[in-house]
Amino acid sequence: MADFAVLHSPACTAIWEVSASEAPLWRYWGPRLPDGVVPDTGLRETRPEPSFSLHHDQPLSLFPGFGMAWFGQSALLAHRAGMASAFDPGECRIERNGAHALSFRLDDRVARIMVEIRASLDPATDVLTLSASLENRGDGALDVQWLAAGCLPLPEDAETVHSFAGRHNHEFVPVADALSRSLWRRENRRGLTSHDCFPGAIVTCGDGTAYGAQLAWSGNHAQTIEWLDDGRRQWQAGEWLAPGEVRLEPGERMAGPEWLATVSSEGINGVSHAFHRALRARIAWPGGAMRPRPVHLNTWEGFYFAHDEAALRELAEAAAALGVERFVLDDGWFAGRDDDKSSLGDWRADPRKYPQGLGPLARHVTALGMEFGLWVEPEMISRDSDLYRAHPDWALHIPGRPLLEARNQLVLDLARPEVGAWLFEVLAGLLADTPIAYLKWDHNRDLAHAGEPARHRRQVLAVYGLLDRLRAAFPSVEIEACAGGGGRIDAGIAARTHRFWTSDCIDAVSRVAMQRGFLRFLPPEIMGCHIGASPAHATGRQQAMAFRCGVALPGHFGVELDARHLDATDRETLAAGIARYKALRDRLHGTRVWQGEAPDGLVWQAHGSEAAMVLLVTRTDATSQRHQPHLRLPMAQPGRSYTITADDRVLATMDGAWLARAGFALPPMAAETVLVCEVIS
Ligand code: GLA
C-alpha cells in the first residue's frame, strides 16, 4: 500500500505519494478534497508499461530529475565539469513542520547533491508556497543552470494559460495561449522583474477551475508548462540563470525564490483572492498593520527636473488644500540633477535649488499636515557624477567591453561589500537628517551587462539585503517600488515595500487594462494610481477629471500634476475625487476583489464582501447598443435582497439570484466614464 503526504487548506488540497527512496510523486493538486480521501492504489499500479518504454516507470514528481528515466523538463540542471549531471535522489526524508508545512530532503548520493523542497499550504490564504535549495556535497565545484522552485501538476483539461507581456508605459498586456502538446515557456533575462514578462500566470481549465502561480523574485526568471505522457501537464518556475552565474563550491548551498501557487474552483477571481490574501500576509507594514493608504502628491509630471523651492512650497499648499496626505518629491532634487544625464549617486540636496537642504521644504510639508516622501534611485550611477569620478569600477561592467548605458546611467555593483556599505550609509544619512516618511525607490534600466561571471542573482539578493537593513534601521519608513513604472512588480519585493508604481503611463484609458492585469496577482492597496494632467503626458490623450479620478479610485490614490494651476471645475472635481477615495478606501482595500466583463465593452470590478460591495463599472468606448446592457454579479447570494445605488440614487433592488443570473439594467454611460455604485444587502 502506498504512503501519502497530504496538505489541505479550506479551498485546496495537495497529495503526494511518498517513499523513502525517491522524490514525492504528484497525485493531486486541486480544489479541496474531503479529509482522509487519498488514492486507493500506488500510481505505478495504474500505469501498465507502454511500448518502447523503459521498464522503470518515472511519473511526475515534485522535483523531476534528469537522466534517469524522466524525459520531460527537469527541475535541476547542474554538473561538475560534465559529471554528476544525472539527478535521481535515492533518499527522501520527509519532515512535517506543523500541520500545514512539509519539507522533503532529496539526497542523491551518487551525484552528491542534496535538494530540499519546502512546501506549505497556508490555511489563511489557500496559497501553496514551494521553494528549493541545493547543496553541493561533492568534491568539485557544481555549475547550476536551472533550479526550479518545484513542479506543479496541471490536470488533463487545462486549456489556456493567461500571462502578461508589456513594455515601459504599457505594463500588463494580457496574453492568452491555448495549451497544446508544445512546450509553453516565458523567460526574462533583463536582470530585474521586467515590464515585459510578469513572473506568473493563471491556467484555466475546461471545468472552470483556475490554477495560478507567481514567483516571488525580482530578477531573471523562467516558467514552463509541458504536456506529459499521461495527459497531465507539469508547470515549473524558477530563476533564469546565466551561464556560469551559479557555481557552488564543495559544501556551498543556494536557495531559490519562493513560488506561490493556488487553485480555485471559482475561476480566475478565486485565484486572485488567494493571491491578494497571500500578498497581504507578506507585506510588513510599519506598526504591524496597514493604515489607510494616504493620498499622494507626486511632483514628477507636474515639475519634472525643474525644482524651485518656492513653487514647490506653493504646490504643497495647493495639495494640502485638496486633501493630499503625503507629498513625494520626485527626481531632480539632488546635486547637479537638471536632466537625466547626470548625478545619480550624488545623493545630497542640490545647493542651487535647496540652499538650506531639504529640511525646510520637508518641514513645510509636515507643518501642512502631510508626510514628506523622497525619490531615490540607489542602485544606479551616472557617468557624470562625483561618485563615478571617484569609483568608476563600482559600475557593473565586463572588462574589455564597452559600457552600455540606458537613460545615460550605469548600474552599481551592489554585491560588492564596500558599495553596499556606502549606499546604506548614504540612505541612512538622508533618512536621519530629514523628516522623510517615505522613499520612492526607482530602478530605471535593465541589467546589461551584469559583469562576468554574471551577477544578476547577486544583485537581487544585495538589493533585498539593503532594503531589509534599511527597514530594520528605519521601521516607520514606507517604500515604493518603482522601475520606470512597473518594471519590478513581484511578490519578492512586495515583502520589503509598501506600494508599486504601476506604470509611468497615467493615461486613464490605458490604465484600465493595466490595473486589471495587476489585480490578477496583487491587491489594490499597493497599486499606485495617479491622476495626471490632460492631455496625458504618455499618450497625448485628453480625459475628463472625473474619469481620471474614477480610474484611480480603487488603487493607492495619488495626484501627479501641477495642482496650483487647475481651473475651478477641475479643482472641485479633484477634491471630490479625493474625498470619495477617503470615504471608500477602507472598503476598497484589504477586502475581496472580483473583476468581470459585461456586454457592450464594459468592464467592472467589485471590492468588499458578498454582502456589501463597492462596484466600479468602466466604459471606455461609446455604446453600440440602443438600450443599456444588464450587469450580472455572479457572487451575489440567492435569498438576499440587494440595493444598488449610485450617487445616492437607487438604481435597482433585487434578489441575489436575479442579480447573479439576470442582472440589473445599467444607466446610460458616456464613453470614458466610471460608474461608482454601492451594492448592499
Ligand atoms: C521613472 C519613474 C517616474 C519618475 C522618473 C524620474 O521613470 O517611473 O515615476 O520617478 O523615473 O526620473
The per-residue pLDDT for range 531-560, each reduced to its tens digit, is 999 999 999 999 999 999 999 999 999 999
Contact (CB, 8 A) for 507 and 538: yes
Neighbours of 416 (CB within 10 A): 18
The per-residue pLDDT for range 103-141, each reduced to its tens digit, is 999 999 999 999 999 999 999 999 999 999 999 999 999
For the chain, give the percent of residues with pLDDT over 90: 100
CATH 3.20.20.70 in the chain, residues? 286-590
The per-residue pLDDT for range 410-438, each reduced to its tens digit, is 999 999 999 999 999 999 999 999 999 99
Neighbours of 624 (CB within 10 A): 8
Contact (CB, 8 A) for 380 and 445: yes
Query: Catalytic residue among 143, 331, 504, 570, which?
Result: 504
CA distance 531 to 507: 8
| Amino acid 49: pLDDT | 97
Domain 594-680 has CATH 2.40.30.10: no
Q: Tell me the mean pLDDT in the region 216-236.
A: 98
Ligand 1 site, residue 116, Cβ cutoff 6 A: no
| Amino acid 127: pLDDT | 99
The per-residue pLDDT for range 24-69, each reduced to its tens digit, is 999 999 999 999 999 999 999 999 999 999 999 999 999 999 999 9
The per-residue pLDDT for range 246-302, each reduced to its tens digit, is 999 999 999 999 999 999 999 999 999 999 999 999 999 999 999 999 999 999 999
CATH 2.70.98.60 in the chain, residues? 3-282
Query: Which of 301, 304, 330, 376 should be mutated for ligand 1, with most atoms under 8 A from CB?
Result: 330
Contact (CB, 8 A) for 193 and 483: yes
| Amino acid 307: pLDDT | 98
CATH 2.60.40.1180 in the chain, residues? 594-680
Burial class (CB in 10 A: 0-12, 13-18, 19+), 476: exposed
CA distance 347 to 376: 8
How many whole angstroms from 35 Cα to the centroid of ligand 1? 51
The end-to-end CA distance of the chain, in Å, is 52
Per DSSP bridges, beta strands 371-376 and 326-329 are: parallel
How many whole angstroms from 635 Cα to the centroid of ligand 1? 39
Question: In the CATH scheme, what is the code of domain 3-282?
Answer: 2.70.98.60
Ligand 1 site, residue 331, Cβ cutoff 6 A: yes
Q: What H or E segment, with its residue span, contains residue 131? A: strand 127-136
Query: Catalytic residue among 108, 442, 507, 570, which?
Result: 442
Ligand 1 site, residue 135, Cβ cutoff 6 A: no
For the chain, give the percent of residues with pLDDT over 70: 100
3-state helix, strand, coil in the chain (%, to 5): 20, 35, 40
Ligand 1 site, residue 501, Cβ cutoff 6 A: yes
Is the pLDDT assigned to residue 1 strictly greater than 90?
no
- Closest residue CA from atom 1 of ligand 1: 484
| Amino acid 555: pLDDT | 98
Ligand 1 site, residue 442, Cβ cutoff 6 A: yes
The contacts of residue 659 (CB under 8 Å, 6+ apart) are 632, 633, 636, 642, 679
The per-residue pLDDT for range 583-620, each reduced to its tens digit, is 999 999 999 999 999 999 999 999 999 999 999 999 99
Active site residue 331: no
Closest ligand 1 atom to the C-alpha of 485? 8
| Amino acid 290: pLDDT | 98
How many whole angstroms from 331 Cα to the centroid of ligand 1? 7
Output the DSSP codes for 445-504. S-----TTTT-HHHHHHHHHHHHHHHHHHSTT-EEEE-BTBBTT-SHHHHTT-SEEE-BS
The per-residue pLDDT for range 459-489, each reduced to its tens digit, is 999 999 999 999 999 999 999 999 999 999 9
The per-residue pLDDT for range 329-343, each reduced to its tens digit, is 999 999 999 999 999
Active site residue 126: no
| Amino acid 449: pLDDT | 85
Domain 286-590 has CATH 3.20.20.70: yes
160 sits in the region (left: phi over 0; alpha: psi -120 to 50; else beta) called: beta
The greatest distance separating any two alpha carbons of the chain, rounded to the nearest whole angstrom, comes to 82
Is the pLDDT assigned to residue 374 strictly greater than 90?
yes
Q: Tell me the mean pLDDT in the region 655-674.
A: 97
